[in-house]
Amino acid sequence: MTLFNLVVRHAHWLARVPLLPQFFDAVLLTWTALWDRERLRAMELIEEAALEIPRVALCIHRFGGTGFAINGREFAHIHGNGLLDVFTGKTIARKLVAQGLAIPHHVFGDSAWASYWVRSAADVPDAIALLQTASGRANDSRTWDGSNLDATRGLDQG
């Protein structure tokens, strides 16, 4: 069990301590920057690609990490350890998990959110496809069937 999972599953009450979630995520990001440059570069590529999606802006996720928003409403975020969370709606999230394209959200489980581990540049195309799916839902402008994702990447834990 990683430190991230330990804290999220067994010490989630710490999220209510002012600034502690942001500090924890900063520690995760620092760890990634020092010991996993490949993952950090992949995360940077995802942020750059997200900004090419129409109307998407970066924001600060309330529990630390980089958020992705449309009109000030967050639809996804990436934690400092490379865990990408996307809001797709419960039906699509379940479909992504069933097809092996994502995992249940690390806190909410079976919900409208899905998670995806970004480990390297090989995971970037699928992460971007997930962001496009979530941003499409946020824009209410399109639907998606998961056909542009590769079920072999991004699912293992960090």
How many domains does the chain divide into?
1
Determine, yes or no, domain membership for 80.
yes
> Residue 117 pairs with which residues in a beta bridge?
83
- Domain annotation covers residue 150: no
Provide the pLDDT for residue 119.
Answer: 97
Domain for residue 155, yes or no? no
- Asked if residue 76 belongs to a domain, the reply is yes
Q: Find the domain containing 56 and state its range.
A: 3-139
Does residue 157 belong to any structural domain of this protein? no
Specify the long-range contacts of residues 88-93, CB closer than 8 Å, at least 24 apart. Answer: 88/112, 88/113, 88/114, 88/130, 88/133, 88/134, 88/137, 89/137, 92/133, 92/137, 92/144, 92/146
The pLDDT of residue 158 is: 52
Q: Is residue 39 part of a domain?
A: yes
Residue entry with tokens 């969370």: 85
pTM of the model: 0.85
- pLDDT tens profile 103-121: 999 888 899 999 999 999 9
In the predicted model, is pLDDT for residue 54 greater than 50? Answer: yes
Instruction: Name the burial class of residue 109, with classes exposed (0-12), middle (13-18) and buried (19+) by CB atoms within 10 angstroms of its CB.
Output: exposed
| 3 φ/ψ angles, rounded to the nearest 5 degrees | -60, -40
Amino acid at residue number 27: V
pLDDT at 138: 75
Residue-averaged pLDDT of the chain: 87
Average pLDDT over residues 63-87: 95
Give the pLDDT score at 11. 72
Percent with pLDDT over 90 in the chain: 68
C-alpha pair distances (Å), 32 with each of 21, 66, 152: 16, 14, 23
Retrieve residue 59's tokens.
């924001």
Residue 149 lies in a domain: no
Residue 154 contacts residue 118 (beta carbons within 8 Å): yes
Tell me the pLDDT tens digit for each residue of 10-51: 777 778 888 999 999 999 999 999 999 999 999 999 999 999
Residue 82 confidence (pLDDT) above 80: yes
Q: For residue 19, tell me if it sits in a domain.
A: yes
Residue 34's CATH number: 3.90.1150
**Residue listed under structure tokens 């570069």:** 41
pLDDT of residue 1: 55
